[in-house]
Amino acid sequence: MEIKKILACVDLSPASIKGLEWAVELARKFDAELVIYHELEDVYTMIKTSASFGMPAAPDLEAKSTQNVKDKLEPLVKETGVNYRFLIEAKGKTIDRLPVVVDEEKPELTVIPVDYERDIPKINSQVLVIK
């Protein structure tokens, strides 16, 4: 089996952090690229709510939130020797966006926390579920 890319869905829950640890080890073992995916659901909701009231959200809200997530996750991957990149977006709910992101990234393996297990049929990848 050849694995060139692993996508880790990280929502900052304990299970997703454990999943990231698994993804790092597998990426190291297979010398695969690691894509760390996080959906900024709260930011998406705030932007949509602000727009519905005719009030703009803070212009740097998404950038600051993205940096906050990177600051939390980077120490877990920085010194591992794994080729990684972050994919942090504010486009909707993780449950809806995950299958789309997998289709776009085309990983051979997707690591998800157990909360997203019900969506495995929608994910076009091998899936490792962490609980």
User: Please, which residues have CB within 8 angstroms of residue 99's CB and are 6 or more apart in sequence?
Assistant: 119, 122, 123, 124
* Average pLDDT rounded to a whole number, residues 73-96: 95
> Which region among 2-16, 42-56, 63-77 has the lowest average model confidence (pLDDT)?
42-56
pTM assigned to the model: 0.91
Class of domain 5-130: alpha beta
Give buried/exposed letters for 62-92 (b at 16+ CB in 10 A, else e). Answer: beebbeebeeebeeebeeeebebebebbbeb
* Average pLDDT rounded to a whole number, residues 21-31: 97
Does the pLDDT of residue 48 top 90, yes or no?
no
Q: Output the pLDDT for position 51.
A: 59
Q: What is the DSSP string of 99-120?
A: HHHHHHH--SEEEEEGGGGGGG
> Which region among 13-17, 63-67, 107-111 has the lowest average model confidence (pLDDT)?
63-67
Instruction: Domain ranges for the chain, please list them.
Output: 5-130
Q: Which amino acid is at 75?
A: P
Is 46 or 65 the better-scoring residue by pLDDT? 65
Average pLDDT, the chain: 92
Query: Positive or negative CA dihedral for 111, 88, 29, 79?
Result: negative
pLDDT tier, 52 (very low <50, low <70, confident <90, very high otherwise): low
Q: Which amino acid is at 22?
A: W
